Structure 1
Amino acid sequence: MIAIWLLLLVKSVLFRLFLFGELKWNGLLADAAAWLGLLLIVELVTAARWRGIAYWAVNLVVSVLLFASTVYFSYYGSVPTYTALKALDQVNQIQDSVESLIKSIYYIYFLDLAILAILYIVRLIRGTRVSGRKRIGQLRLVIGGLLVCIVVSGSLVYAGSDIPNELEQAEGLGFIGYQAAAAWNNQSEKAIASSGDIEQTKADINELMSSYSYQDQPGQPAVQFGTAQGKNVIVVQMEAFQNFPLHLSVGRVELTPVLNKLADESYYFPHIYQQIGQGNTSDAEFMSNTSIYPTGEIAMSTGYGNRELPSMPRMLESKGYEASTFHVNDVTFWDRNKLYPALGFNHYYDKPFYTNDHFNAFGASDEELYKVAVDKLQALHEQKKPFYAQMVTVSSHFPFEVPKDRTDLTLPASMEGTQLGNYLQAVHYTDYALGTLIDRLKANGMWDDTVLVAYGDHFGLQPEKASAAEISQQLGIHYDDRLSRFNIPLIIHVPGQSGGHVVEQPGGQLDIMPTLANLLGVKPADEGVVPFGHDLLNINHNVFGMRYYLPTGSFFNNDILFVPGKGFDDGTAYSLKTMEPVRDFSKYKSDYDYIMKLMGLSDQYVRQLPKRTP
């Protein structure tokens, strides 16, 4: 047992170095107590003849968990909790993406297992027997040691469970302690929500939001309200699409000529940031339609697909709109078969509706997606039935492998075969495919009756495979691992716009729905909908939170991105304009307190939403 305990401690050290790049003694104490406690439980409940196998099994399971968590962290930047197990059935559908994340060094977690197996065989051959009297003495020692481990682990979990920063919490509590704290917090929050009243929660939300000065002159008539009233709406969610490629050229070739032209003729929001949680792309779909924060504990499609979600499709249904959503993957991926009815979509068109042109692991290309979508929407248009349609692209999905015959972008030799080069090829194709959608809408007489919204769901480039220094040097831009990485484009084109308008107001994905609602002449409050975002055309100041890819307590406002440490005082801040650290951020303490309360109320609100009838 002692040998396996020491092996688990070594693996904990590796885990901490892979994730945090450092060792903290309080964290190692937490690991030591947790692993010893686990092994002592095995000692108590397992018969002597099976004890060696049980220890071996524990070592194997822990190795697999640490390996998987390391791979997970390399993409998400977060330590997974037990709730991430509910997404295991999604792995097979993104196998290429997962495999590309694995580094050979990660297999070191399993190095000892072969050696352990050999030692175990030797032990079986030699055989050992323990007298009854000696066994009783061992049991007393085991029980005493287990009690000590429980007290130590429990004390550390209790002391660290109120740290909002998940990374700080995981580093301090260790892998097992972090899971225990997550379970305790989740159950506590659910208990509070289940005992609360949703109408009171709405009142608390409105009271809190009214305390923040989003507008310099509150009460003024909304700008551009209803300028697109009654128009069709197409919302294109672009996979892994960051903002930096817009208006950028490589070798005098525009990376995104279609989006550049569209931005110049539309409302273009260059300072929008992702806010997704564990559900990644599906969380972006959830947010753009509901303006509710993801809880961060679980993909919203999985955890809340059984609810009746207040949403854009539901608001527009009362205006006579038909709501459809299009995605070339199987609708069960990320439980979208639950999410889409929860959001109030009338129809969804998934994998069977598209001809598989074998673009990537997902199957059909963006061109095929748009072809089918326009065909379906054309029928509604001919019936003069207004529609709201969301299209989710996948051709630029990680690991960004675009067939050579689908892109005409020539890259410098220094970028060929790199993640940066592959990403630019994928972005270039995604832009081209969007152009085919616009051409089809124009050819079918739908362009002048349709609002087109295009935005990115989340970042694409990973810091470990495309560093900020490399991107900056190769492209001649100032790229930051946080600000540039999480910055996504948002473009809203309204029919009949006389010219483009750059909206400098910072915002997040929560702000998409209220901004679109304003243009369509819809007031969410009148429809009983509580948005946690704001109409970016009608505010002067903004503050919005982000968690999961950054720890809870992180927020953006008009000036900075703030990332907490264990709390506010030991956090860090970065200027949105210069991307440089801000030393004195004390004046933003009220924003931190506000966003922590707001995200807590959002979690409480979504947990109190009524379950829908199957």
Structure 2
Amino acid sequence: MNSILNIFRKSPFWTTFILVMIKMVLFRQFNFQGVQVDRLLSDVASVLVLLCVFELITTSRWKSLVFNSVNIILSLLLFSCTVYFTFFGSIPTYTALHGLDQVGGVKESIGSAINLKFFLFFLDIVIIALLYIFTLRTREDKAKSKSVAKPIYVGIALVVAIGASFLYIRNDLDISNELVQAERLGVLNYQVATAINEAKENKAIREGSTEKTKETLAQLEEGFSGEVGVVDTEKQNFFGAAKGKNVIVVQLESFQDMMVGLKVGGQEVTPVLNGLIKENSFYFPNMFQQIGQGNTSDAEFISNTGLYPVGHTAMSKGFGDREIPSMPRLLAKQNYVSNTFHINDVTFWDRQNLYPALGFDKYYERPSFVNDNFNGFGASDEEMYRVGMEKLTELHKQNQPFYAQFIATSSHHPFWMKQKFMSIDIPKELSGTQLGHYVGATNYADKALGIFIENLKKNGMWEDTVLVVYGDHHGLQIKENDAAWVEKVLGINYHDQISRFNVPFLIHAPGVEGKTYEGVAGQIDMMPTLANLLGISLKDEGYTVFGKDLLNTTKNVVGMRYYSPTGTFFNDDIMFVPGKGFEDGTAIDLKTMEPVADFSKYRADYDYVLELMKLSDGYVKLLPKRTE
């Protein structure tokens, strides 16, 4: 054991290099299902840069401690990135550090993403620690623990490694697909490439303006679809059909559209939503999530603004200090009061900044509700709606029009809930599975919504209220829900991308005969669609949105990032996921869920989405900061 420790003491540089490279191989195997030698060379270059720097700046006395610390830190990094990839499907960048303070709030969800094999990243550290514990270090050992590395050789290695990393980064810098870029560059060089691209984008944005963005957007839309949009409001379908009505928006947590209309064991999973769709609602069955790092809070941002979330940070954290054009601000001009309800602490995802940024007048958080310990978040949806009903009834009695947003959380991952809340019998083949828990949780969320609707009717508010219901993002995790198995046990077509990213969206407007729109839609389209029903012209109000009014759209393409690489888009025919670029991408038919071999005719959609998201990012970053 002494001899093993002596190796580490005499050559901490090389032993650390070898150990870290073994972990880089593990990282690629866990996340990219294989190791390409030419790609591993990028890892070699980046690791050498890091270790050479520490070798040059550290004295002999501290080298062993420093290199052991580097090994530990890199092990934690690779472990964290692997867990992150397992849960989110993307390799995190340094910007994800902004969300570290949120981990405690979703610890059950994060814990489910940890696989025992991931702890191999720490195996060598445990072994070395045990050797130190059971081995006494002698004076002779100390005398022999000097580093054998020569500064001149280390300096040459550093220059060569920096040059190699530079070449790798330069060659792959323009790849829009983050996963492909991360695989080609490796986790360390990928961080550098991200920083360079962000700096370039921010420089270009600083040289622009919101007015210039509006002009460019108008040109892009006209070139893509032949029209900027229906300008004459008298010719717009349903314009002002719900003018002056109260608005209630319900965001359902982790809710996939496949649950709507589904029967399990002969029982309807979502009888309330099914009834709303039949009861003259506008229903958009081909709507897809578009959230970024902020997940649920990003969905709140998108639905209220018609803007894309940026790819590198949660909108609540990156832009909570801005004054963002939004639905609450639009309706404030119509004398509406805007409230939002969420049973968690308002500090979760910095909502204490997000809500003022969006112009909400008041928010209700954890202290406003009685904790019935439904799940890890606290109070149940029923409790949230109960408090909401009290507050909205007070406004109704004062003839005060309102815009109310409810963030339902009872169907949050990991979906397990107490038996006393269950309203559906889970079939034996689903018992104890994540899918079984998911069925129970979504059924409860639907039931709680139904109780809320009944109370709206009892209080005479239903006929004076527009109800918007949508899902924030997917729920089922791939590793626990094989697509073929889900198809078999539920008796439906299920695709691990299309079906997973497909979320419900419906609008019920009193006195308005709705219909089902089969065209593709995104969360970014919600705000302009609702504005049309309320008789608000976004053009007249000077608002810039990057979504479309779905009631007046003939051609739509929606982009997605974060849970799928930038450049991913949905149109009426396919879901497209890029490779290094468009040509090596993949396309899946939305109806058959089968691969599409020839997707060349959709190149314009790909270019359009990339430019659209770029413009949206620029517009958001140019928004002014709040003065209050």
| Structure 2 Cα separation of the partners of residues 586 and 351 of structure 1 | 51
Residue among 394, 407, 412 paired with 1:397: 412
Structure 1 residue 2 displacement after superposition: 1.2
**Aligned: 1:546 with 2:560:** yes
What are the equivalent positions in structure 2 for 1:243-322 lying under 5 Å apart?
243-265=257-279, 266-322=281-337
Where does residue 209 of structure 1 map in the other structure? Answer: 221
Where does residue 207 of structure 2 map in the other structure? Answer: 195
- Residue by residue, what CA displacement relative to the aligned partner does 1:188-247 show, whole Å, maximum 9, x if unpaired? 211221222221121111111122227799667110000000000000000000000111
**Aligned: 1:112 with 2:124:** yes
What are the equivalent positions in structure 2 for 1:30-429 lying under 5 Å apart?
30-118=42-130, 125=138, 126-127=140-141, 129=143, 138-213=150-225, 221-265=235-279, 266-429=281-444
**What amino acid sits opposite 2:439 in the alignment?**
L
Structure 1 residue 563 displacement after superposition: 0.4
Residue among 525, 535, 540 paired with 1:526: 540
- Cα–Cα, structure 1 residues 128 and 308, in superposed 2: closer, same or farther, change >3 Å? same
**What amino acid sits opposite 2:41 in the alignment?**
L
Structure 1 residue 333 displacement after superposition: 0.4
Q: CA RMSD in A?
A: 1.7
Structure 1 residue 540 displacement after superposition: 1.2
| Structure 2 Cα separation of the partners of residues 189 and 216 of structure 1 | 26
- Residue by residue, what CA displacement relative to the aligned partner does 1:525-573 show, whole Å, maximum 9, x if unpaired? 2112111000111111101110000100111111111100000000001
| Structure 2 Cα separation of the partners of residues 147 and 183 of structure 1 | 21
TM-score (ref. length: structure 1): 0.97
| Structure 2 Cα separation of the partners of residues 449 and 52 of structure 1 | 72
**What amino acid sits opposite 1:394 in the alignment?**
T
- Cα–Cα, structure 1 residues 130 and 104, in superposed 2: closer, same or farther, change >3 Å? closer
Structure 1 residue 114 displacement after superposition: 1.8
1:56–1:116 Cα contact (<8 Å) kept: no
1:216–1:540 Cα contact (<8 Å) kept: no
Where does residue 6 of structure 2 map in the other structure? Answer: none
2:55–2:63 Cα contact (<8 Å) kept: yes
**What amino acid sits opposite 1:160 in the alignment?**
D
- Cα–Cα, structure 1 residues 550 and 73, in superposed 2: closer, same or farther, change >3 Å? same
Structure 1 residue 3 displacement after superposition: 1.6
| Structure 1 Cα separation of the partners of residues 329 and 472 of structure 2 | 22
Give % identity. 52
Where does residue 457 of structure 1 map in the other structure? Answer: 472
**What amino acid sits opposite 1:353 in the alignment?**
S
**Aligned: 1:581 with 2:595:** yes
2:521–2:558 Cα contact (<8 Å) kept: yes
**What amino acid sits opposite 1:410 in the alignment?**
D
Where does residue 493 of structure 2 map in the other structure? Answer: 478
1:215–1:540 Cα contact (<8 Å) kept: no
2:221–2:228 Cα contact (<8 Å) kept: no
| Structure 2 Cα separation of the partners of residues 131 and 494 of structure 1 | 77
Structure 1 residue 49 displacement after superposition: 1.1
Deviates more, 1:218-227 or 1:42-51: 218-227
1:419–1:465 Cα contact (<8 Å) kept: yes
Q: Secondary structure at the match of 1:325?
A: strand
- Residue by residue, what CA displacement relative to the aligned partner does 1:379-425 show, whole Å, maximum 9, x if unpaired? 11111111001100110000001111101211221111101101001
Q: Secondary structure at the match of 2:275?
A: helix
| Structure 2 Cα separation of the partners of residues 164 and 25 of structure 1 | 23
Structure 1 residue 116 displacement after superposition: 2.5
| Structure 2 Cα separation of the partners of residues 250 and 120 of structure 1 | 57
**Aligned: 1:536 with 2:550:** yes
Structure 1 residue 117 displacement after superposition: 2.9
**What amino acid sits opposite 1:322 in the alignment?**
V
| Structure 1 Cα separation of the partners of residues 275 and 267 of structure 2 | 14
Structure 1 residue 249 displacement after superposition: 0.6
2:230–2:236 Cα contact (<8 Å) kept: no
Q: Secondary structure at the match of 1:212?
A: helix
What are the equivalent positions in structure 2 for 1:552-591 lying under 5 Å apart?
552-591=566-605
Where does residue 515 of structure 2 map in the other structure? Answer: 501
| Structure 1 Cα separation of the partners of residues 64 and 178 of structure 2 | 35
1:214–1:540 Cα contact (<8 Å) kept: no
2:222–2:228 Cα contact (<8 Å) kept: no
Q: Secondary structure at the match of 1:526?
A: coil
| Structure 2 Cα separation of the partners of residues 201 and 123 of structure 1 | 68
Where does residue 5 of structure 2 map in the other structure? Answer: none
5+ residue gaps, structure 1, are none
2:221–2:227 Cα contact (<8 Å) kept: no
| Structure 2 Cα separation of the partners of residues 112 and 202 of structure 1 | 55
**What amino acid sits opposite 1:402 in the alignment?**
M
Q: Secondary structure at the match of 1:566?
A: coil
- Residue by residue, what CA displacement relative to the aligned partner does 1:485-537 show, whole Å, maximum 9, x if unpaired? 00000010001234x41111110000000111110001112112111000111
**What amino acid sits opposite 1:101 in the alignment?**
A
| Structure 2 Cα separation of the partners of residues 117 and 364 of structure 1 | 44
- Residue by residue, what CA displacement relative to the aligned partner does 1:548-603 show, whole Å, maximum 9, x if unpaired? 00100111111111100000000001111111111111111111111111111111
2:308–2:524 Cα contact (<8 Å) kept: yes
Q: Secondary structure at the match of 1:458?
A: coil
Deviates more, 1:486-495 or 1:523-532: 523-532
Deviates more, 1:107-116 or 1:75-84: 107-116
| Structure 1 Cα separation of the partners of residues 88 and 120 of structure 2 | 21
2:256–2:473 Cα contact (<8 Å) kept: yes
TM-score (ref. length: structure 2): 0.95
- Cα–Cα, structure 1 residues 524 and 124, in superposed 2: closer, same or farther, change >3 Å? farther
Where does residue 7 of structure 2 map in the other structure? Answer: none
- Residue by residue, what CA displacement relative to the aligned partner does 1:234-283 show, whole Å, maximum 9, x if unpaired? 00000000000111111111000011001111111100000001110000
Structure 1 residue 607 displacement after superposition: 0.5
Q: Secondary structure at the match of 2:284?
A: strand
1:396–1:423 Cα contact (<8 Å) kept: yes
| Structure 2 Cα separation of the partners of residues 20 and 317 of structure 1 | 49
Q: Secondary structure at the match of 2:363?
A: strand
| Structure 2 Cα separation of the partners of residues 313 and 596 of structure 1 | 28
- Residue by residue, what CA displacement relative to the aligned partner does 1:287-326 show, whole Å, maximum 9, x if unpaired? 0000100111000000011111010011111011111110
| Structure 2 Cα separation of the partners of residues 130 and 527 of structure 1 | 76
Deviates more, 1:478-487 or 1:40-49: 40-49
Structure 1 residue 26 displacement after superposition: 2.5
Residue among 483, 488, 497 paired with 2:503: 488
Residue among 447, 462, 467 paired with 2:482: 467
